[in-house]
Amino acid sequence: MLRAMKRSVTVQIAGVKYALKTEEDDRWVKQVAAFVDGKIREVQKHTRTVDTQAVAVLSALQIAEELFHERRETGELRKKIREKSQSLLDVLARETRA
């Protein structure tokens, strides 16, 4: 299997440029960086602190909260799909015996 070559992608987050080594598509990396930048700017707008580390931690907590919420929703949807699938299999099994 061929591995993609790592290359450098420059992004800007909270006014600071970062050169990131990645195998991912440039657009994807820039989209992720823009998301993080947006979260940081949102936190900066709603908090009085100018401490960069505090803003970064608060932003990370917001992102983590969104991730955990999405994981929970995904788990609930998977459970519903399994239950519906099993119901359909049960109906099919009954119908084929009839």
Does 27 reside within a domain?
yes
Task: Render pLDDT for 52-72 as a digit per residue (tens, 0 to 9).
Answer: 999 999 999 999 999 999 999
> How many domains are there within the chain?
1
Task: Quote the domain boundaries for residue 57.
Answer: 7-97
* CA-closest candidate to residue 16, choices 65, 56, 48, 54: 56
Exposure string over 36-52, b if 16+ CB within 10 A, otherwise e: bbebbeebbeeeeeeee
Take residue 80 and report the two structure tokens written for it: 């519903």
**Amino acid occupying residue 21:** K
Q: Please state the pTM of the whole predicted model.
A: 0.78
Does 42 reside within a domain?
yes
Long-range contacts of 54-63, Cβ-Cβ distance < 8 Å, separation of 24 or more: 55/14, 63/36, 63/39
Task: Render pLDDT for 13-45 as a digit per residue (tens, 0 to 9).
Answer: 999 999 999 999 999 999 999 999 999 999 999
